[in-house]
Amino acid sequence: MKISVPREIKNHEYRVGLVPHSVAELSHQGHQVFVETGAGAGIGFSDDDYSAAGATILATPEETFAAGELIVKVKEPQLAECARLKASQTLFTYLHLAADKPQAEALMRSGATCIAYETVTEAEGGLPLLRPMSEVAGRLSVHVGATYLHKAFGGRGVLLGGVPGVAPAKVVIIGGGVAGVNAAQMAVGLSADVTLFDINAHKLIGIDQMFHGRVKTAFSSRAALAQALREADLVIGAVLIPGAAAPKLVTRAMLKTMQAGAVLVDIAIDQGGCFETSHATTHQDPIFIVDGIVHYCVANMPGAVARTSTLALNNATLPFVAKMARMGVSAALAADPHLMNGLNVAGGQITCQPVAEALGLPFAA
């Protein structure tokens, strides 16, 4: 199969769909890999590295998109990239369509087969291609939250772990999935006072056991969350409904009860965000302030640590890329129901029900 890897063009996005060792594996299996020049340069992978792994280097995005039957990316295609897709091609990348109707409609117009990393499943019930980025985003959320608590950024001027004689910051984490647990690990490691909310009692039991009581757990009722927000220094939104828009769990009214200079980090922003006041930001301009509360809502958060993120993502995506290349996309989808769950757009129609419902578009089973 012919596989293309374009250079990512989203703001400060340095990740790349395939790293050289993945290209070498696919080349060894007899597939042709085309890589746009400079695709991996931002994380230390040169064109020479890709050439040595067996890739053909192409000079422009137009050439790169045109060369491949399977297009492997990281972030959702920008509208200019959607326009380059053809009905005969398959796109394999993060899509997050529930919060992006223009992209969904552009992909429908292309006629291409579009498989979203974030809705591919596994036998154990998890999301194997979302997990590595959720791990990164969860851990990173505490780093950025601690930074934006600095007074110079409009934060409260609070040190996350405190010091002897001074209480640590209060961290509220909403969601006990992969991102939330990883955020809790980092926050506890920095000696913060951590409370994690979820609506799944079994998750809360597991988290309590995992952290041996060092993380307080709470059922996520509206009243309990509102109470915690009043005293919070850092709030991390880590909720996920696979394929669907994130629920708005922190309202504008709740914001007005919070301490001035508190920080919100919205990991769910790719799915529309879980704070009512959230809107997507970029690494270039990452924060904004509403009612005295600092909001960090960068839509490609793991891109801040692009090398770590790319390597982690490739570990998860390469087996699926290899399967599609070996079997053909149609046969691979038919043989693997978990890969089929990743199919979001095909033949000009939305094929993921939560996406269709979120966007008010027809669903094609």
pLDDT reported for residue 243: 80
For the entire predicted model, the pTM comes to 0.90
Backbone angles phi, psi at 73, to 5 degrees: -125, -170
What's the sign of the alpha-carbon dihedral 14, 17, 22, 28?
negative
| Beta bridge partner(s), residue 71 | 4, 91
CA angle 346, 351, 353 (to 5 degrees): 165
pLDDT reported for residue 277: 98
Instruction: Assess contact for 166 and 331: CB atoms under 8 A.
Output: no
What's the sign of the alpha-carbon dihedral 265, 258, 218, 170?
positive
Of 355, 302, 356, nearest in space to 131 by CA? 302
pLDDT reported for residue 312: 97
pLDDT reported for residue 365: 81
pLDDT reported for residue 198: 97
* Token pair belonging to 118: 């974030």
Of 25, 30, 15, nearest in space to 53 by CA? 25
pLDDT reported for residue 139: 98
Q: How confident is the model over 27-67, as pLDDT tens digits? A: 999 999 999 999 999 999 999 999 999 999 999 999 999 99
Which parts of the chain sit beneath pLDDT 70? none
Helix (H) or strand (E) holding 114: strand 113-116
Strand pairing report for 349-350 and 343-346: antiparallel
Instruction: Assess contact for 156 and 260: CB atoms under 8 A.
Output: yes
Query: What is the C-alpha separation between 302 and 299, in angstroms, rounded?
Result: 9
Residues forming the active site: 96, 270
DSSP states along 263-316: EEEEGGGGGT-SBTT---B-SSS-EEEETTEEEE-BTTGGGGGHHHHHHHHHHH
- Give the chain's length: 365
pLDDT reported for residue 244: 85
> Phi/psi zone of residue 171: left (φ > 0), alpha (ψ -120 to 50 degrees), beta?
beta
DSSP states along 6-25: PPP-STT----SS-HHHHHH
pLDDT reported for residue 163: 98
Instruction: Assess contact for 38 and 328: CB atoms under 8 A.
Output: no
Backbone angles phi, psi at 173, to 5 degrees: -115, 125
* Token pair belonging to 288: 């904004």
How many helices and strands (H and E) does the chain possess? 14, 15
Residue with tokens 């070498």: 24
Instruction: Assess contact for 318 and 22: CB atoms under 8 A.
Output: yes
* Token pair belonging to 286: 């990452």
